[in-house]
A = this chain, B = another copy of it.
Amino acid sequence: MSVPRTLDRTLQALADPTRRAILQRLSSGEARVTEVAEPFRMSLNAVSKHIMVLERAKLVKRRKEGRDHYLSYLPGPMDEAAEWIEHTRNFWSSRLDALERLLRDEDAKRT
Contacts and interface: CB of A to CB of B under 8 A. Distances in A.
Interface residues of A, number: 31
A8 B16 contact: yes
Interface of A: 3, 5, 8, 11-12, 14-17, 20-21, 23, 27-29, 73, 75, 78-79, 81-82, 85-86, 88-89, 91-93, 95-96, 99
Contacts of A20: 3
B82 A78 contact: no
Contacts of A91: 27
- Quickly give the copy total for this chain: 2
A91 B12 CA distance: 21
Contact of A88 (B11, B78, B89, B95): B78
Nearest to A8: B15
A11 B13 CA distance: 9
